[in-house]
Structure 1
Amino acid sequence: MARAAVVGAGMTKFGVHDTPLQELFGQAALDTFDDAGITPDEVDAFYFGNAMGGQTENDTHLGPKLASHVGMAGVPVQRFEDACATSSNAFKNAVEAVEAGVHDVVLVGGVERCTPETGKDTPEMTRIFASASHRQYEQPTGLTFPGVFALFTKRHMHEHGTTEEHLANVAVKNHGNGSLNPNAHFGKQTTVEEALDAPKVADPFRLMDCCPFSDGASAVVVVSDDYADSFDAPVDVSGIGHATDVVPIGDKEKPHVTQAARDAAAQAYEQADTTADAMDFAEVHDCFTGAEILASEALGLVGEGEGGPAAAEGRTARDGEIPINPSGGLKAKGHPIGATGTAQIVELTEHLRGTAGERQLDGAERGVAHNLGGDAATTVVTVMEARE
């Protein structure tokens, strides 16, 4: 089967924006067109992600609105909603469309505004985020996502001896990486001591264990294999997997192993005819520091129970054995839900092209992205490689 390739990538700075959704996305899309060297009229289709526009801004029929705003009126548009995995699922479907020969050139991206600029304060945004949990069994208890991932992490601590200091080391690493990323929400470094002194949010998580609400947009251009060589520096999508897990979390047999991630990773590695050992770096969904530890093990980047020690020992640092989240991750780069998945693809693309600036990883030839949704019930895993 012919593979797809990414030939253009762009994103806004993640943070607080007072820009309307369509203008925020327009910034990322136009940068992506420029990077690919194409114009909007060369795009066959538009797949995009937005998870919460209806709840946060009373803005739902976004497909034609965004297409019109960036000069693509008339193309078929599909909006995706998969909680935090929203735009990575859009990306997966775009990849499959070009591999199947349905389209040759597809714009894929996502946009979200999650900060008080939407008119919603933090408690209200937390409630809206929690709508991705089980409506009958979890929402009535008041369980929100800091609590969900705290439960996963506490179980991991029980099983493997993971400590709060391990979590703090993940935060320190990702803030250090974010300080090198001009598009990161947080560019300030931190220390283990500062992280451990921060207020508790949901045991064992402290404030520095939690990613921020962010506004932002990201986009990529995906093309068929036949078209890829006509572009500068295409990056191949060699494998992509998508899996789900049981909901609610009380029914998960082993909540700390994030089974959907393991299943999606197995699919992606099999498609790419590769293994976790061949990955040079990873972007994973660290909505909380504990989530990065779970993801690193689920992807096979470290052994069972080694996620915490690997961070503390520097094995997942930018200069370590397997760099994880050189972008700063959700923890420092930020988390505008609908834009997060394709932002990971932007990061992989830049490292594999050698254009990631100060945070560039030397000799990166192959990377993996992991984007989950809700209570880890949806996960998309993507393997990408520099084209020879």
Structure 2
Amino acid sequence: MQPDTVLITGGAHTRFGPHCEKDRETGKRIDTYPQEQMLADVVDGALTGADLDAATIDAVYVGSCSPGAFSHQELLAPLALERCSALRFKPVHQSTAACASSSAALHAAADALQSGRIQAALVVGIEKMSLLSTPQVTEVLGRCSYWPEESSTGMTFPGLFATLGEHYRQYNGISPERYREMLATVAATNYRRGIRNPLAQFGPGSLAETAALTSAAAILELPEEKNPLIAAPLRLHDCSPISDGAVALVLVRGDSGLKGQHAAALRGRAISTDYLPLSRRPALHKLEGARESVLRAYREAGISAGDLDLAEVHDCFTSNQLLCIEALGLSDEGCAGEDYLAGEHDKDARCQINLSGGLKSKGHPVGATGASMHYFAYRQLTGQAVGTAHPGNPELAAVLNIGGSGVVNCTTILQAV
């Protein structure tokens, strides 16, 4: 291991879901798990998991998509210090990159660690979304698209990803009926994994389990009122849910002497940023920015797709899971859907995808998502799987986290050490 190798050596994760109650008389939403408490819980948990004192941390990096709009607290990152007085006066950085906010925070922390400027960092991802109504959440998330051409014309994020998916379907000559079956298979696969994850929004005892939504047939047979069209052809069960949640990770340099009992190395990583407007991109049937990020991360890690044992991919919508799998090279272009239908990405696959249940099943508190994906990969690689465990002894994992409509693309290759 190189001296400047960056290690994840501890983490903590709240349960994802809508942590609020609605007053039946007034309609007011009552916060049952405030974000300050979520922050405190995961900071404490991550430090305990890493067996480190807060005083050891040199810098804190917090990712959150839109805390001002969601919770009226734009300057959110300093609240990570509240529980630990030893963190007072440490540098605190706040990142916003839509759904890739906490991956951007993690990459920034890793840069500082590799430079030698710091020895230990705390990375936090957080979002509190459920205090707003669904239309309000849709409007806030729309600010992460290109306003002049997209949000201002009524285009939503389901609409943006439906557009990408339709370009994919048409470019590859897939019939609407076949495509619908592919998307339902992706949703069912993630539900099957998610119902075993106690931290997932659609975890044990949730609708996914009680309504037996663990097969494509069950989803395809749902009546319109239980699986309404959101943005053609995407339906309710193609969309990740509105969620609250927080995740914290402790990162250290390999030569710091702070490794701890459970550690996974960041072997390769890259961020690739594409044009914000969809209208500027020449090939909407694939995630070109994600593919560029993946290739650079593979080169740095010295691996190829065939070396991966597991991957956490950004399935904000079922259609995007197909695109992400192809960006990672785990399916050939235009073939991910057929591979799903053939069982190539099921329990016997060489590379296990979204063992956590993915965003679709686990939940998608946008600022916490990137950190969550890294957390679940880290837990698998260190023999501490949460929920569905990899059937073997995984050595290499990929995390592909995307912000916006394929705009900020963050890839990390993690290795067991």
Interval of TM-score (by shorter of Structure 1 and Structure 2): over 0.9
Partner of 1:66: 80
Q: Quick check: 1:14 aligned with 2:16? A: yes
Q: Quick check: 1:159 aligned with 2:171? A: yes
How far apart, CA to CA, are the structure 1 residues paired with 2:354 and 2:270? 19
Residues 166-224 of structure 1, C-alpha deviation per residue, up to 9 Å, x if partnerless? 00000000000001111000022413133223221111111110000100000110000
Residue 62 of structure 1 and its aligned partner are, at CA, apart by: 1.5
Q: Quick check: 1:47 aligned with 2:61? A: yes
Give the 5 Å matches for 1:99-118: 99-115=114-130, 118=131
How far apart, CA to CA, are the structure 2 residues paired with 1:229 and 1:365? 21
Partner of 2:216: 192
2:338 to 309, 315, 323: 309
Give the 5 Å matches for 1:163-174: 163-174=179-190
Decide whether the 8 Å contact of 1:244 with 1:377 is kept in 2. yes
Give the 5 Å matches for 1:284-363: 284-361=313-390, 362-363=392-393
Runs (5+) with no aligned partner, structure 2: 20-31
Q: Quick check: 1:81 aligned with 2:96? A: yes
Partner of 1:3: 5
SS at match of 1:16: coil
Q: Aligned pair in 2 of structure 1 residues 358, 21: CA closer, same or farther (>3 Å)? A: closer
Decide whether the 8 Å contact of 2:125 with 2:367 is kept in 1. yes
Q: Which of 211-220 and 227-236 deviates more?
A: 227-236
2:395 to 355, 358, 365: 365
Q: Quick check: 1:57 aligned with 2:71? A: yes
Q: Quick check: 1:23 aligned with 2:23? A: no
Partner of 1:241: 270
Q: Which of 18-27 and 188-197 deviates more?
A: 188-197
Residue 358 of structure 1 and its aligned partner are, at CA, apart by: 4.3
Q: Where has structure 1 moved over 3 Å in runs of 4 or more?
A: none
Decide whether the 8 Å contact of 1:45 with 1:103 is kept in 2. yes
SS at match of 1:384: strand
Indicate the RMSD between aligned Cα atoms, in angstroms.
Answer: 1.3
The structure where helix makes up a greater share of residues is: 1
How far apart, CA to CA, are the structure 2 residues paired with 1:221 and 1:297? 30
Decide whether the 8 Å contact of 1:318 with 1:324 is kept in 2. no
Decide whether the 8 Å contact of 2:7 with 2:259 is kept in 1. no
Percentage of matched positions with identical amino acids: 33
Residues 134-188 of structure 1, C-alpha deviation per residue, up to 9 Å, x if partnerless? 1111112100000000011111111224411000000000000001111000022
SS at match of 2:218: helix
Read off the aligned partner of 1:36 and give its amino acid letter. A
Partner of 1:33: 47
